[in-house]
């Protein structure tokens, strides 16, 4: 397949892979790999590793586990996605949002050290298993439980929560509190105990990483910050100066281990909601990022296979005592910009991360906590606080803006993990409200035409004595059917003259269930008590099928079904209508 200008943009054949290659895509692209792509893939893999290694240290800190566990996750994510994923530029690894959810679970469970590692590992594995269930049963629709407004607000609030948690590492103090408000107040109260040397290191680190972000430098600011912090720590003996360091970072990997069933059951009240939240956030990221790169480069992806890839990446990360992983837009974008042509780039990144763990890991023991805090603050502020999206929501849809604000307040007040649950409730609540209150405008005829418009938008449209024309703009089912009856009762009771004909335009009704069909039957009886008849216009075939099966059409009469609104109203329109 070729992209614009004849440049080859994909290595995958136009037909879908068959056999085992369908489930292990590396068998498909590996067979057709062109050595000319190797240079671009290797360069991209190196660039992404340089970005991911330092950031993964920070993400582990957010998750409440020792920093090496971020590298375990990064290695597992990049390698396993390269084997099982279908998007060629995607890089999978830890992210600030996922780490914030895992970290909230650690705080909620009040565990530290090995117990925190075990909890996060269990959450990561259960998240992976949920991804696999999603793929097997093709349940991608579950991601709709979190609206874009809720996700925007949730991430914004989670970023603030993480920043508040990192402030004491910048000032060399400590904080306590059950939520962000109390933690921040406690930090303010203890500000007089600030350690001067730690503040200098923290502030300089923030200036460096933010300054590089806004410069034209292509070198990752996180990499510069970590290397610079390590050099300064050794050169100026930070530990002797009382500046806290991250502590011992062992070389290599831990032995793969799965959490016991009893541990998962005992902690399921924490593990379950955290894994569900990670699934909703991770799946949204995965689908959006994979589709974006596939559209850009003109190849196909398999969403179910993407879920399998993310599921196995999380199971692998959890087995290695790592933290949750998903697609990373920043790493994937760097991968793409650096010339990645196939998942070989992700495989290269993974192997470089493994080498880092095997050779360089102990060097990170000298990294100051203030430097790590600056790296984390930079990552969450610029990666999770979408100010432009908040401005857009305020400008375009005030309701969505206030839903996002509610999600922010929920996270800051109840915590990140509870914020996910509250976010789902907000999304479902808004969905129910919208469906229970559909738009049902009264229609009038445009003078001299057969077109009917909403009277609210076109007040000069014509209406006729004894005729009511209404349009139902939603599916007619259990959540919305009562609204139609209530609206008709309201209009009938408010009318100055009795309606003898009611025309319901069904052009917006693309779905009807048994309760919706029953409601139409009840409306027929209601109309007869008022001495009126019901006519239906522009009814979709699938809706008609349900009404016929339920006997509604027999009761109404086939002659009361019309192809358009004008035909349904024709006998009420005089030869020379007036406004």
pLDDT band at 18 (very low <50, low <70, confident <90, very high): low
What's the confidence (pLDDT) of residue 259? Answer: 92
Where does the pLDDT of residue 426 fall: very low under 50, low under 70, confident under 90, or very high at 90 and above? confident
Q: Tell me if the pTM is above 0.75.
A: yes
pLDDT for residue 2: 35
Contact (Cβ atoms closer than 8 angstroms) between residue 447 and residue 462: yes
pLDDT in tens, 113-166: 999 999 999 999 999 999 999 999 888 777 667 788 988 999 999 999 999 999
Number of H helices, E strands in the chain: 23, 8
Provide mean pLDDT across the span 85-109.
Answer: 93
pLDDT score at 183:
95
Question: For residues 5 and 323, which has the higher predicted lDDT (pLDDT)?
Answer: 323
Segment 221-259, tens digit of pLDDT: 999 999 999 999 999 999 999 999 998 999 999 899 999
pLDDT at residue 576 in the model: 44
Q: Buried b / exposed e across 47-72, counting CB within 10 Å, b at 16+?
A: bbbbbbbbbbbbbbbbbbbbbbbbbb
| Percent of the chain clearing pLDDT 90 (strictly above) | 77
Average pLDDT over residues 545-549: 95
Residue 344 near residue 41 (C-beta atoms within 8 A): yes
% of the chain beyond a pLDDT of 70: 96
Report the chain's C-alpha Rg in angstroms: 30
Identify the pLDDT of residue 575.
60
Q: Cβ(98)–Cβ(323) under 8 Å?
A: yes
pLDDT single digits (tens) 250-309: 999 989 999 999 999 999 999 999 999 999 889 988 888 888 898 888 888 888 999 999
Q: Which two tokens stand for residue 179?
A: 């939520």
Integer Cα distance of 108 and 179 in angstroms: 11
Nearest to 131 by CA among 269, 264, 313, 320: 313
Pairing mode, if any, of strands 326-327 and 92-93? antiparallel
Q: Tokens at residue 4, please?
A: 């614009």
Q: Classify the C-alpha dihedral 19-20-22-25 as positive or negative.
A: negative
Q: How many CB atoms lie within 10 A of CB 446?
A: 13
Closest CA to 343 of 335, 333, 331: 335
Report d(CA 295, CA 303) in Å as an integer.
Answer: 13
Local structure of residue 324 (DSSP, 8 states): -
Q: What is the mean pLDDT of residues 77-95?
A: 95
Find how far residue 489's CA is from the centre of its chain.
41
Q: What is the pLDDT of residue 429?
A: 87
| 4 pLDDT tier (thresholds 50, 70, 90) | very low
Contact 268, 92 (CB under 8 A): no
CA distance 352 to 339: 17
- At 182-202, the pLDDT tens digits run 999 999 999 999 999 999 999
Looking at per-residue confidence, does 147 or 467 come out higher? 467
Check pLDDT > 60 for residue 506.
yes
């Amino acid at each position: 397949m070729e992209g614009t200008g004849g440049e080859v943009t994909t290595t995958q054949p136009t037909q879908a892979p068959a056999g085992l290659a369908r489930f292990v895509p590396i068998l498909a692209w590996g067979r057709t790999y062109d050595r000319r792509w190797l240079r671009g893939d290797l360069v991209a893999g190196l660039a992404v590793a340089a970005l991911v290694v330092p950031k993964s240290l920070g993400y582990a800190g957010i998750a409440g586990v020792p920093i090496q566990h971020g590298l375990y996750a990064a290695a597992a994510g990049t390698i396993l996605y390269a084997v099982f994923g279908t998007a060629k530029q995607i890089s999978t690894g830890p992210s600030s949002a996922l780490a914030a959810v895992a970290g909230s679970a650690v705080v909620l469970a009040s565990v530290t050290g090995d117990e925190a590692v075990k909890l996060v590992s269990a959450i990561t594995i259960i998240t992976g298993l949920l991804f696999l269930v999603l793929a097997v049963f093709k349940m991608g629709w579950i991601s709709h439980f979190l609206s874009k407004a809720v996700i925007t607000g949730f991430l914004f609030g989670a970023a603030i929560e993480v920043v508040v948690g990192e402030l004491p590492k910048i000032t060399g103090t400590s904080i306590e509190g059950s939520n962000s408000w109390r933690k921040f107040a406690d930090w303010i109260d203890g500000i007089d105990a600030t350690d001067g040397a730690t503040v200098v290191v923290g502030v300089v680190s923030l200036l460096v990483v933010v300054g590089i972000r806004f410069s034209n430098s292509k070198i990752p600011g996180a990499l510069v910050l970590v290397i610079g912090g390590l050099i300064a720590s050794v050169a100026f003996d930070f530990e002797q100066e009382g500046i806290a360091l991250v502590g011992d970072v062992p070389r290599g990997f831990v032995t793969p281990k799965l959490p016991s069933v009893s541990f998962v059951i005992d902690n399921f009240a924490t593990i379950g909601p955290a894994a569900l939240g990670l699934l909703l956030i991770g799946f949204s990221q995965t689908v959006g990022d994979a589709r974006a790169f596939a559209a850009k480069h003109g190849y196909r992806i398999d969403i179910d296979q993407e879920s399998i890839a993310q599921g196995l990446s999380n199971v692998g990360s959890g087995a290695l005592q790592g933290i949750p992983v998903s697609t990373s837009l920043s790493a994937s974008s760097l991968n793409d910009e650096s010339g990645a042509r196939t998942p070989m780039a992700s495989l290269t990144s993974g192997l470089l991360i493994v080498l880092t763990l095997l050779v360089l890991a102990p060097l990170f023991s000298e990294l100051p906590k203030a430097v790590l805090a600056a790296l984390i603050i930079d990552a969450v502020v610029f990666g999770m606080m979408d100010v432009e999206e908040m401005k857009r929501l305020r400008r375009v849809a005030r309701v969505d803006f206030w839903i996002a604000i509610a999600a922010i307040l929920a996270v800051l007040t109840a915590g990140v993990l509870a914020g996910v649950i509250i976010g789902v409730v907000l999304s479902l609540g808004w969905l129910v409200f919208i469906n229970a209150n559909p738009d049902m405008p009264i229609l009038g005829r445009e003078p001299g035409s057969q077109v009917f418009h909403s009277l609210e938008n076109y007040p000069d449209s014509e209406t006729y004595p004894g005729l009511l024309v209404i349009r139902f703009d939603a599916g007619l089912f259990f959540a919305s059917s009562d609204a139609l009856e209530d609206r008709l009762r309201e209009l009938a009771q408010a009318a100055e003259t009795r309606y003898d004909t009611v025309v319901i335009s069904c052009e917006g009704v693309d779905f009807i269930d048994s309760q919706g069909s029953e409601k139409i039957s009840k409306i027929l009886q209601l109309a007869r008590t008022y001495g009126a008849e019901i006519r239906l216009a522009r009814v979709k075939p699938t809706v008609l099928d349900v009404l016929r099966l339920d006997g509604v059409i027999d009761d109404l009469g086939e002659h009361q079904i019309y192809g358009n609104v004008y035909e349904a109203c024709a006998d009420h329109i005089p030869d020379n209508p007036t406004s």
